[in-house]
Amino acid sequence: MINPETNMIPEIDRDKCNGCKICVKACPGKCIFLDSEDIAYIEADYCENCGICAYENPHLCPEEAIKLPWDKWQRNLQ
Ligand code: SF4
Ligand code: SF4
């Protein structure tokens, strides 16, 4: 599990998303939706920071469009 205090809300690369909804179905918080262009986005206020959507081994997202913002997390540590 990811510590919510680190604010590790995943980020979705709009250029990579193909709208397959795998992340939408996998999100336990039901906080990933498709927008009017069928691109996934996260309602950050409801994200539980579980990290499931951004799982990388193997990637949950077939397009590898979802990442945890490790760069922001590292900046928070400084
Ligand atoms: S799993 Fe990836 S490609 Fe599929 S809807 Fe989610 S972000 Fe888009
Ligand atoms: S981190 Fe968990 S709760 Fe947040 S959007 Fe991803 S799957 Fe949903």
pLDDT of 2 strictly over 70: no
Give the total number of structural domains in the chain: 1
Q: Ligand 1 pocket: which of 39, 66, 68 to mutate (most atoms <8 Å of CB)?
A: 66
Q: From the CA of 52, which ligand is nearest?
A: 2
Nearest to 64 by CA among 26, 9, 13, 30: 13
pTM for this prediction: 0.88
Q: What is the extent of the structural domain holding 66?
A: 8-77
7 CA to centre of ligand 1 in angstroms: 21
Is residue 1 in some structural domain? Answer: no
Q: What percent of the chain has pLDDT over 70?
A: 90
Is residue 2 in some structural domain? Answer: no
Return the amino acid letter for 42: I
Is residue 53 in some structural domain? Answer: yes
Is residue 35 in some structural domain? Answer: yes
Is residue 66 in some structural domain? Answer: yes
Is residue 3 in some structural domain? Answer: no
Q: pLDDT (tens digit, 9 = 90+) per residue, 25-59?
A: 999 999 999 999 999 999 999 999 899 999 999 99
What CATH number does the domain containing 43 carry?
Answer: 3.30.70.20
